[in-house]
Amino acid sequence: MDPIGLLHARPKAWLAASVLAPHAAAFATYLTHARYSSQSCGTYVASLAHLGRWMSQCCLPLCQLDEAAVEQFLDRHLPRCDCPKPVVRTHSALRAACTHLLKVLREQRVIAERAGASGPIAEELNRYDAHLREARGLSEGTRRTSLRLVQRLLRYKFAGGPVVFAQLQPEDVRRFIATQLDLRRTTSNATALTSALRGYFRYRTTLGDRAHGLVGVIASPAHWSLAPLPRALRPFEVKRLLSSFTAELPSPRRGYAMVRCALDLGLRSSEVARLQLADIDWRVGTVTLRHTKSRREDVLPLLALTGRALADYLRYERPKTSNPAVFVRRLAPHDQPISAHAVRRVIRDAFGRIGLTHGRSHALRHTLACRLLDQGGSIIIRRSPMCCATARSTPR
């Protein structure tokens, strides 16, 4: 099917007369290879025609098409669009089509790569990120959280000017912490904030700056023993959770296998999302985690129930794909692994179906830890930034 050939005569003429015409075929091929439905392909190509008409009216050259130009198209043109019908005016469809187009054009090196943040604050954060990655070996997610909080501090003190660390005073840190806690008064936010600031100040100390006075004004939040541990699910709740993946759901076998991986193997959401087909040794009955949070390789026993759940998903529900990931996208764009956010959403929705408002994905890991302790089994204790003890059994 050729989505360009199926266009209405008017938008087809807009597209043919625009600077996007030479790249329309590559755009349609990209959508086809990503296995979008014929309806989605038609909508996105029609959206491309709308964008092309606007670019022609504005005399916008192709080399200047970027995220800023797309925002101008969506925020300024779309609300008062008077383009004759048929024309796509749906904001979400136009944004999605523009996002795909920018990706295609950058792969073809027609437009420049997206410019990163610049300025003194961005440069300081890049240096600190390199330190966290190379000297401390922190994972990308941990670094992202720390950098976001440090960025707030730098913008609070040095917005619009150079970063002169010597100008940062204890009173500035006190006021900044107070403003952040006013926005979100939770123990987890206070813990993350104090940890990020202390880590940054220690980094500045290694550069020769005097930061001991700044560290001294950061008070540790109250941290009661075992308070941050999520509540473990009781046996009947586990049974209801596993039974909630009924045939009425779009992909019940996938969700059931995800929960089994978290409940039986103690996998984090990110570890479930990164699981590869080659990581499962069906003959020996093991699962190898190659990129764990602690940057080590773990080999876990594959329990019979977990293996059966994975096998059922792989046989009967996993889409045909060349991607080596175990869990892949069900909807377009296909041939891509799912994200950790998708795993958390599946687990959160399962909690909601059985009426558990306190549940989150980490509670499944804690349930495994409690079960192993109750049975007197040997476990390996690993601690996350939220100080949640997690248990993993090891093969003998």
* Most confident by average pLDDT, 228-237, 263-272, 359-368: 263-272
Closest CA to 215 of 202, 226, 227: 202
Q: Is it the case that residue 58 has pLDDT exceeding 50?
A: yes
Kindly give, in sequence order, each residue whose CB lies less than 8 Å from that of residue 299, ignoring residues fewer than 6 positions away: 286, 287, 288, 289, 394, 395
How large is the average pLDDT for residues 23-31? Answer: 95
Q: Please give the pLDDT value at position 396.
A: 33
What 3-state class would DSSP assign to 300? strand
Burial of 385 (0-12, 13-18, 19+ CB in 10 A): middle
Q: Which of 32-41, 53-62, 198-207, 386-395 has the lowest mean pLDDT?
A: 386-395
Q: Please give the pLDDT value at position 230.
A: 59
Q: Please give the pLDDT value at position 181.
A: 87
How large is the average pLDDT for residues 183-201? Answer: 87
Question: What residue segments make up the domains of the chain, in order of their start?
Answer: 9-107, 120-216, 235-392
CATH of 120-216, one of 2.30.30, 1.10.3470, 1.10.150, 3.40.50: 1.10.150
Per-residue pLDDT tens digits for 131-181: 999 988 888 888 999 999 999 999 999 987 899 999 999 999 999 999 998
User: What DSSP assignment string belongs to 108-122?
Assistant: TTSSPPPPPP-SHHH
Which class is 235-392 in CATH?
A: mainly alpha
Torsions phi, psi for 128 (to 5 deg): -70, -40
Q: Is it the case that residue 216 has pLDDT exceeding 90?
A: no
